[in-house]
Amino acid sequence: MELEPDEIISAVLEVAAPAPVTDTAESVNESYKSQIYQAIQNASAEAHSPNSPLLNPKSLQATIKKEMSLFEAGGARRLVLEGAYKALLAIPPTSVESERAFSAAGYLCSKIRSRMADKTLDTLCFLRSYFQNHA
């Protein structure tokens, strides 16, 4: 669940300024709100700047090395290391699924059916798999 900046600001304001709302408290709230909003904007701009470690490969390597040493020392993954970890989890360890799909498509696409459209072949592979699993 990702919060919008206005929701984050509202949550912080509830904690930061629990005093009853008066003219002075409203101005303090607006001051806090503008400071928090500015901090969020700065952090967002920093993450998308050309000097960001996420966009510069050399800086990214240095950041990952630094975060790895912190991880080994304390056991907590930081932002860049967590992103790399999630990306690595998304890669399947083998190509068995793709080989199985090509094999199934090979049964349906023969010399006689060589002019079949990709979408038709995809649909036939889906139906074949569906009926094998649900029959």
Global pTM exceeds 0.75: no
What range defines the domain where residue 21 resides? 1-48
Residue-wise pLDDT tens digits, 64-73: 788 888 888 8
Judge if 59 and 41 occupy the same domain: no
Residue type, 129: S
Judge if 43 and 1 occupy the same domain: yes
Q: In 7-29, which positions are buried (b, 16+ CB within 10 angstroms) versus exposed (e)?
A: eebeeebeeebeeeeeeeeeebb
| Residue 69 in tokens | 């040493």
Judge if 79 and 107 occupy the same domain: no
Read off φ and ψ for residue 129, nearest 5 degrees.
-65, -40
Number of domains in the chain: 3
C-beta of residue 33 within 8 angstroms of C-beta of residue 14: no
Judge if 118 and 87 occupy the same domain: no
Rounded Cα distance between 72 and 87, Å, is: 20
Residue-wise pLDDT tens digits, 31-49: 777 888 787 777 666 655 6
Residue-wise pLDDT tens digits, 49-98: 655 555 566 777 788 788 888 888 887 777 777 887 888 888 777 778 88
